[in-house]
């Protein structure tokens, strides 16, 4: 997800470009204003933390761009691509390392595990909003070499 600061700074295209350049397939995307209820569900694991209300306040402060990506190892790879949570500690070449500045404004959210991704995708997308399609370049990137080949 591109958070409100990424949307406000006009970085949606750059963030999408970086993930697509790794060969992952975008299967769902939508821009929305997050409700307090959805924000609370999304950050449910942090409910008892002192920073919870700040997370909810920030994610509801402006539009976000929710995305669903597909490909081998996509969750782990995107976590590496976005970089450390604190942009000041994120490696150069990562989204947060190159484009971020503050822990409280770190541009993107990426699921931390496949089970978390499944739960979060269920919050942000209805099943019919996730598309299954083939791209010509899939043969050249993630799908190659074919199994057994």
What confidence score (pLDDT) does residue 141 get? 66
Phi and psi at residue 97, in whole multiples of 5°? -65, -35
Burial of 93 (0-12, 13-18, 19+ CB in 10 A): exposed
Q: How many CA atoms lie within 13 A of 45 on its CB side?
A: 5
Q: pLDDT by residue (tens digit) across 40-62?
A: 999 999 999 999 999 999 999 99
The whole-model pTM stands at 0.90
Give 149's pLDDT tier (boundaries 50, 70, 90): very low
Residues classed as catalytic: 109
Domain 4-126: state its class: alpha beta
Domain ranges of the chain: 4-126
5-37, pLDDT tens digit by residue?
Answer: 999 999 999 999 999 999 899 999 999 999 999
């Amino acid at each position: 997800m591109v958070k409100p600061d990424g949307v406000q700074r006009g970085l949606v295209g750059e963030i999408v470009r970086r993930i697509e350049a790794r060969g992952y397939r975008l299967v769902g995307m939508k821009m929305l204003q997050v409700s307090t209820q959805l924000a609370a569900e999304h950050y449910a694991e942090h409910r008892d933390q002192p920073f919870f209300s700040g997370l909810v306040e920030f994610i509801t402060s402006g539009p976000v761009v929710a995305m669903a990506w597909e490909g081998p190892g996509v969750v782990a790879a995107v976590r590496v691509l976005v970089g450390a949570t604190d942009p000041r500690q994120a490696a150069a070449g990562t989204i947060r390392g190159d484009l971020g500045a503050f822990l409280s404004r770190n541009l993107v959210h990426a699921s931390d595990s496949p089970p978390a991704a499944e739960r979060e995708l269920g919050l942000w997308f209805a099943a019919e909003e996730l598309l299954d399609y083939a791209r010509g370049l899939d043969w050249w990137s993630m799908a190659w070499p074919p199994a057994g080949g």
